[in-house]
Amino acid sequence: MSSESPAPSLFANYAVPDGAFDEWLDAHGAPRSAAQRAIGTLGAFDGDEIARTQTLAERALLNQGVTFSVYSDTRGTEKIFPFCVLPRIVSAADWDSVDRGICQRVRALGLFLDDVYGEGRILKEGRVPEDLVLGAKTYMPVARGIKPLGGVRIHIAGIDLIRDSAGTFRVLEDNLRTPSGVSYVLENRLISKRVLPRIVEDARIQRVDLYPARLAETLRSVSPIEPDRSTCVVLTPGPANSAYFEHTFLARTMGIELVVPADLFVDGDEVFVRTTRGPRRVHVIYRRIDEAYLDPEVFRSDSLLGVRGLFRAYKAGKVALANALGNGVADDKAVYAFVPDMIRFYLSEEPILEQVPTYVCAREDDRKYVLEHLGELVVKAVDEAGGYGMLMGPTSTAEEREEFRRRIEAEPRKYIAQPRIELSTCPTWDPEARRVVARRVDLRPYVLTSPKGPWVLPGGLTRVALREGSYVVNSSQGGGSKDTWVQKP
């Protein structure tokens, strides 16, 4: 149709917001070296071709049922996670420091958990305030003294990174309980290969499809018996869960069974699965159920979901749980402020990755500062996730600020504040305007830890705030995703 008028270059009128670092173009509008190849090949596309590619990709995702459920939608409608075909590209040099920085961080966090559920050295020495840790809602007293099999607690972590105005990667959040999204990393790559085959081939990027095999190896490595003879399962709450697609994806690609709590039972501190040939012993459970719902004997007794006796079996070392119980205290938003100190304390190293300066409202000086600067800061509730319970200072109204002032004064432990970081932008297809626009992105790499140490998947989930001017990338609030291309060294 539009072939009568020659399509303008895809990047004509591409405008990067003031103060934001763009992933593809430098401050002068010239391609960054990592993006050069992609711009060379994709630049030959016109708007119609991108639009067609985009439609193909969305159709493939819908047909494959790559969907998530939205909780607020009572009919349990499944939606595809919006996907933008224009990739996020990470240079080999940038990735090298991200990789090393994440491994360092996860090692320190693991040692921190060993410590706070063991001797509590870091608390006794006052490097991290004791009441902040022991008083956290996420601290689990019943886990005290339990040494998980293989010494591993954070088998699977997702570390959220953002990139500031200078292009420096900073850790925004650690997810050490049941981080989700890795299936989209793999699915997005499949879709990219399907709709942009030549461009993917040309781009010299690292593969991500080895993740399931590495995950299976990680799970087997902490089995109470010989790894090769172990039965590992993925435990899901069921098809109504928002991440159910991912649960099935992981079980399927690892070739292990997906179970719901009712499939399992505990007998004499051993866990069994009900099969058509009678009960079979289970050794490792990759649980995608929140720990509060795991075992009605120990946690929420009103939970209909759990497996009665599972905690006993775990404590007795007869079954490995991935991730271990009690990890929440290490990814608490207030404890986060102390991770650089943990790295220094446990590893005697300087942190490789920066993080976001954080004011912990439980500390009097910090609180005073936060209350005086509400209009400049982002305030977050420590026990909310998914972009809920936040105050975006710079764009807030006076009433909203007043509301947060009251909340912080009432329960200071519940809040932290951070300066707003300019998230970097990445070229994104806007289907309505039919052109390429700059949108904010973050990045969640995934880390697997076995007794031998951590390994980072070279890739990750790039989430993108699809609305103009938005900083919120969460899928529940209008976010989408992109394929993340980590270049080969």
Q: Which residues bind another protein (CB under 8 A)?
A: 62-65, 234, 238-239, 244-245, 248-249, 251-252, 257-260, 262-263, 265, 267, 273-279, 308
Task: Return left, alpha or beta for 255; rule: phi > 0 is left, psi -120 to 50 is alpha, else beta.
Answer: left
Least spacing, CB of residue 306 vs another protein, in Å: 11
CB atoms within 10 A of CB 254: 22
Residue with tokens 């271990």: 324
- If we measure between CA atoms, which residue out of 353, 448, 446, 451 comes closest to residue 104? 353
For residues 133 and 289, which CB has a smaller minimum distance to another protein in the complex?
289
Smallest distance, another protein to C-beta of residue 258, A? 5
| Residue 482: partners with Cβ closer than 8 Å, 6 or more residues away | 83, 84, 86, 87, 88, 188, 426, 428, 441, 462, 463, 464
User: Between residues 243 and 421, which has the closer beta carbon with respect to another protein?
Assistant: 243
| DSSP one-letter code for 399 | H
Separation between Cα atoms, residue 200 and residue 433, nearest integer Å:
26
CB 185 within 8 A of CB 457: yes
Q: How far is the CB of 234 from another protein (least distance, A)?
A: 8
Q: In angstroms, rounded to a whole number, what is the distance separating the alpha carbons of residues 487 and 489?
A: 6
CB of 71 to another protein, least distance (A): 18
Looking at the Cβ atoms of 74 and 348, the one nearer to another protein is: 74
Give the nearer residue to another protein in terms of CB position, either 20 or 56.
56
Task: Please state, in angstroms and rounded to a whole number, the distance separating the CA atoms of residues 272 and 485.
Answer: 41
User: 3-class SS at 290?
Assistant: coil
Complex with another protein: residue 258 or 294, whichever CB lies closer: 258
Shortest distance in whole angstroms from residue 250 CB to another protein: 8
Give the shortest CB-214-to-another protein separation in angstroms.
18
Question: Toward another protein, which CB reaches closer, 7 or 260?
Answer: 260
User: Please, which residue, 308 or 405, has the CB nearer to another protein?
Assistant: 308
In our burial notation (b when 16+ CB lie closer than 10 A, e otherwise), range 176-201 reads: bbbbbbbbbbbbbbbbbeebbeebbe
Cβ-based nearer residue to another protein, 310 or 379 = 310
- CB of residue 61 to another protein, shortest distance in Å: 11
Tell me, rounded to whole angstroms, the distance of Cα 139 from its chain centroid.
Answer: 21
Closest approach, Cβ 75 to another protein, in A, equals 12
Cβ–Cβ under 8 Å, residues 436 and 457:
no
